[in-house]
Amino acid sequence: MAVQSLYRRYRPQRFSELKGQEHVVRALKNAVINSREGHAYLFSGPRGTGKTTTARILAKVLNCEKPIEGEPCCECGSCLAVQQGNSFDVIELDAASNNSVDDIRDIIAAASLGSPGRHKVYILDEVHMLSKKASAALLKTLEEPPSHVVFVLATTDPEKVAETIRSRTQHLQFHLLPIDELEAHVRWVVADAGIEISDEAIYAVLRQGAGSARDTLSALELSAATGGVLDEVTPVDEFVEAFIQFDAGRLLAAVANTVNFGRDPRTIVNDLVRHLRDCFLTQMAPQLVQLPESRMAVLTTQATHLGTPRIVKIIEGLGLSMNDMRNAPDSRVVLEVALVRLVHRELQTGVESLLARIERLEKELESRPTFAPAPVNPVTGKAVLGGRAAQDPSAPLVRPVVAPTPVVDTAPVVSGVGSAEQVAATWSTAVIGQLKGMSRAIAQMAKPIDRDGTLVLLVDNDPSAKRVSDNLPQMLGVIHQAAGGVCSVIVETRLAEARSAPIVRPDLIAEEDFIDPDEVKALPTISKASLKNELTDAFPGSELLSEEE
Ligand SMILES: [Zn+2]
């Protein structure tokens, strides 16, 4: 078999051979039969749906020596010349590369010259790529076309074609092929060309073709050449699985693999968006999804796991990354950042995700048993409200966390027995007021109380307790000064539950432990910087990923 691509070999030569564009075929055949062909057509539709093929068939039949009911004979000299691409009556131009005003002027100049056939057919592909000036020149010709000239303007993006041009054309829209029609076509080609291929491979081919006859036959050819093995060029399922798992590493690995296979980051984004759109449609309008049933089931499962709001969010995020890529020197980096952002809950912006983030961090801080875990109720498995207080109604609503044995200053700064009560009463002036820098800030985290002569430094949570106790050696001198002698000091954490739960029983709380809301308000606030320090302290080995507040 001569080396000829399946797409070329099975390219339709007559209107009747075109797949899935019946409305276009009907309009054109009728026009030809009645000799009422237009001077300018606009063919729009996705790539690979047969726009230029149809334009060539039109050119062929308009110049055919023996047309049969609106179809070319495909045997006469003119038909064969068009088929071989050497007809003087058909001029094909790609507007993407011939988009200057000079190019168009050349066309116009040539258009007025005669040619061997009855009609001169200009096929301008990707006409939306024409420059403004070139569009203006084309428009002039369309306004007063030479009688024997037919323009066929093809585009994947009709919205970008100037309205003035569009309004002077007959606009015919091409559609992607329904999956069953495409499948029938592929099976016919497979049988006709004697290709051996499994059903699974045919489905993979159809999936990759995504409704485009040209892309489908290209995929079939590749599949046949590799013995039915067809790598998905973009492993969309792998990407979606990684999204479902919130797995940034897996996403980056998928990008690396795909890029290594020569796939451009922009194309990856397009493939992903197309796939996610299908996922979305399985939930909203399954009848619009053009996929074989087995594949449809896979997408439905993916969509269920992702959830519609998240699918929409990912599509939006990918769309934004597409914009960013336009000006970025390295589009792969843009893609990677976008993907990581989409799975990293911390990096998502917006008030809602920020609140969720704070809530989660707070929970983690509270539940983390940095030192001694709170007593647990064996029945409920939950921390016992009040800790020790639950066993001893007279005990304050606190639990000891850092220094179960009193920390006693051994430095001979002061002598005699100090008064914890006095320290507690004068804490802000005699202690905080005397400390400097970090120690001062840390002392502000503690609420001092006197418990039977022992100075108890109450803090809000375990990380604060650790900081205070770590800094005790720097504070003890001042504390003992304030106490007028040596006193025992312990650091305790208020139970997290006690802070948030309204079910605190006042009768269980010693008076000095009762938290007066006004007093809480008057407590010094912790700076954002120290909050960050706390967070990073609370998660050893962690690093701050975002400075967002
Ligand atoms: Zn002919």
* pLDDT tens readout for residues 324-371: 888 888 899 999 999 999 988 655 556 656 666 676 677 677 666 544
* pLDDT tens readout for residues 194-211: 888 888 788 888 878 888
Q: For 38-52, 111-125, 226-240, 326-340, which range has the lowest pLDDT when averaged over its residues?
A: 226-240
Spatial neighbors of 347 by CB under 8 A, at least 6 apart, are 340, 341, 545, 546
Q: How far is the CA of 58 from the centre of ligand 1 (A)?
A: 11
Same domain membership, residue 423 and residue 329: no
Domains in the chain: how many in total? Answer: 4
Percent residues over pLDDT 90 in the chain: 29
Same domain membership, residue 307 and residue 186: no
Q: How far is the CA of 50 from the centre of ligand 1 (A)?
A: 20
Q: How far is the CA of 210 from the centre of ligand 1 (A)?
A: 34
Same domain membership, residue 298 and residue 195: no
For residue 65, being part of any structural domain is answered with yes
For residue 365, being part of any structural domain is answered with no
For residue 461, being part of any structural domain is answered with yes
Contact 355, 346 (CB under 8 A): no
pTM listed for this prediction: 0.49
Inter-CA distances, 254 with 155, 234, 271, 272, 517, Å: 33, 9, 13, 12, 53
Q: How far is the CA of 272 from the centre of ligand 1 (A)?
A: 45
The pLDDT value given to residue 520: 46
Q: How far is the CA of 378 from the centre of ligand 1 (A)?
A: 92
Q: How far is the CA of 16 from the centre of ligand 1 (A)?
A: 15
Residue among 121, 132, 111 nearest 154 (CA): 121
Q: How far is the CA of 69 from the centre of ligand 1 (A)?
A: 12
Q: How far is the CA of 319 from the centre of ligand 1 (A)?
A: 48
User: Where is mean pLDDT largest: 49-53, 223-227, 231-235, 381-385?
Assistant: 49-53
- Indicate the residue among 150, 173, 196 that finishes a domain: 173
Q: How far is the CA of 27 from the centre of ligand 1 (A)?
A: 20
- Determine the 3-state secondary structure of 170 from DSSP: strand
Q: What is the arithmetic mean of pLDDT over 231-236?
A: 71
- Indicate the residue among 309, 343, 377 that finishes a domain: 343
For residue 369, being part of any structural domain is answered with no
Residue 401 confidence (pLDDT) above 50: no
Q: How far is the CA of 36 from the centre of ligand 1 (A)?
A: 19
Q: How far is the CA of 174 from the centre of ligand 1 (A)?
A: 25
Q: How far is the CA of 161 from the centre of ligand 1 (A)?
A: 33
- Residue, of 516 and 23, whose pLDDT is higher: 23
CATH number of the structural domain spanning residue 257: 1.20.272.10
Q: How far is the CA of 273 from the centre of ligand 1 (A)?
A: 44
Question: Mean pLDDT in the chain?
Answer: 78
Same domain membership, residue 165 and residue 189: no
Q: What is the arithmetic mean of pLDDT over 297-317?
A: 93
Q: How far is the CA of 75 from the centre of ligand 1 (A)?
A: 5
Same domain membership, residue 157 and residue 80: yes
- Indicate the residue among 196, 225, 254 that finishes a domain: 225
Provide the domain limits for residue 163.
6-173
CATH number of the structural domain spanning residue 134: 3.40.50.300
Alpha helix (H) ranges present in 392-492?
A: 420-425, 437-443, 462-483
Residue among 96, 145, 156, 97 nearest 122 (CA): 145
Same domain membership, residue 139 and residue 194: no
Tell me the torsion sign for CA atoms 395, 404, 438, 429.
positive
275 DSSP 8-state letter: H
- Residue, of 406 and 531, whose pLDDT is higher: 531
Q: How far is the CA of 229 from the centre of ligand 1 (A)?
A: 41
Q: How far is the CA of 73 from the centre of ligand 1 (A)?
A: 4
Q: How far is the CA of 171 from the centre of ligand 1 (A)?
A: 26
Q: How far is the CA of 242 from the centre of ligand 1 (A)?
A: 56
* pLDDT tens readout for residues 102-159: 777 777 777 767 666 789 999 999 899 888 888 888 888 888 888 889 999 999 999 9
233 pLDDT tier (thresholds 50, 70, 90): low
